[in-house]
């Protein structure tokens, strides 16, 4: 196994960031980094977002999640959005911890947005439970083993916004998906916390 559940629990017990940012005056969002032990490897749940006008991440691979309403905390948002998008129930007892929030304002034409990734460890049956629960938001749901995510041979590039007029960005290829951009940034932060090198 690439890393054990026990190791992750120990690491996050010691590295839980404080949920401050009281001075943040912009919007907030949260994503769920969901891990499931399957076939002797931890697998992470990803979604491909549906193509929607006005969505800056339309059609891209992402983690389940969304924006906060009112004064919701990061955990509440991750749990609500995950159920709405993929039908998986996340309980607070399955939460292991959080990564440091990311200021993603530069992705949104100066709109201020703070993204908080929250980590959950679930039982294996969550893989069968995950489905497209909101077709207007989610195109597909898939799981990727951590061994694949951290394999240098999984490296690829993606041209954005299109092949004819674009820049090339690093990513992780999996089947017909490419994990890149903000989602790859979250994975890099996760890799740093668990002391592993993400070679992408």
Q: What is the pLDDT of residue 16?
A: 63
Query: Does residue 169 form part of some domain?
Result: no
Q: What is the pLDDT of residue 53?
A: 80
The answer, yes or no, to whether residue 80 has pLDDT greater than 60, is yes
Question: Got the DSSP string for 12-49?
Answer: HHHH------TT--SEEEEEEEEEEEETTEEEEEEEEE
Alpha-carbon distance 51 to 56, whole Å?
10
Residue 118 pLDDT class (50, 70, 90 cuts): very high
Q: What is the pLDDT of residue 48?
A: 97
Average pLDDT for residues 181-190, to the nearest whole number?
A: 96
CB count in 10 Å sphere of residue 159: 12
Alpha-carbon distance 81 to 59, whole Å?
17
Query: Does residue 194 form part of some domain?
Result: no
The answer, yes or no, to whether residue 152 has pLDDT greater than 90, is yes
- 191: nearest Cα among 70, 1, 11: 11
Query: Does residue 16 form part of some domain?
Result: yes
Q: What is the pLDDT of residue 2?
A: 85
Query: Does residue 196 form part of some domain?
Result: no
Number of domains within the chain: 1
CATH number at 58 reads 3.90.79.10
Q: What is the pLDDT of residue 104?
A: 86
Cβ 97 vs Cβ 12: under 8 Å: yes
Average pLDDT for residues 173-179, to the nearest whole number?
A: 97
How distant, in Å, are the alpha carbons of 37, 49, 50, 88, 95 from that of 60?
25, 5, 8, 20, 25
Q: What is the pTM of this model?
A: 0.92
Query: Does residue 171 form part of some domain?
Result: no
Residue 164 pLDDT class (50, 70, 90 cuts): low
Query: Does residue 163 form part of some domain?
Result: no
Average pLDDT for residues 10-27, to the nearest whole number?
A: 72
Query: Does residue 109 form part of some domain?
Result: yes
Residue 38 pLDDT class (50, 70, 90 cuts): very high
Range(s) of the domain holding residue 81: 5-147
Cβ 31 vs Cβ 62: under 8 Å: yes
Does residue 33 or residue 105 have the better pLDDT?
Answer: 33
Q: What is the DSSP letter of 165?
A: S
């Amino acid at each position: 196994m690439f890393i054990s559940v026990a190791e992750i629990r120990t690491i996050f017990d010691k590295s839980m960031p404080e949920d401050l940012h009281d001075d943040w005056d912009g919007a907030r969002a949260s994503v769920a980094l969901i891990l499931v032990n399957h076939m002797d490897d931890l697998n992470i749940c990803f979604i491909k977002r549906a193509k929607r006008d006005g969505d800056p991440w339309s059609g891209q691979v992402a983690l389940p999640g969304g924006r906060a309403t009112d004064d919701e905390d990061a955990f509440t948002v991750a749990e609500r959005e995950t159920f709405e998008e993929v039908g998986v129930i996340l309980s607070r007892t399955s939460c292991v911890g959080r990564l440091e929030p990311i200021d993603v304002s530069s992705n949104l034409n100066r709109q201020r947005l703070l993204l908080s990734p929250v980590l959950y460890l679930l039982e294996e049956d969550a893989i069968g439970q995950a489905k497209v629960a909101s077709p207007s938001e989610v195109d597909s749901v898939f799981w990727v083993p951590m061994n694949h995510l951290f394999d240098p041979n999984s490296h690829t590039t993606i041209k954005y916004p299109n092949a004819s007029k674009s820049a090339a960005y690093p990513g992780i290829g999996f089947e017909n998906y490419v994990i890149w951009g903000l989602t790859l940034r979250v994975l890099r932060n996760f890799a740093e916390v668990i002391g592993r090198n993400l070679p992408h």
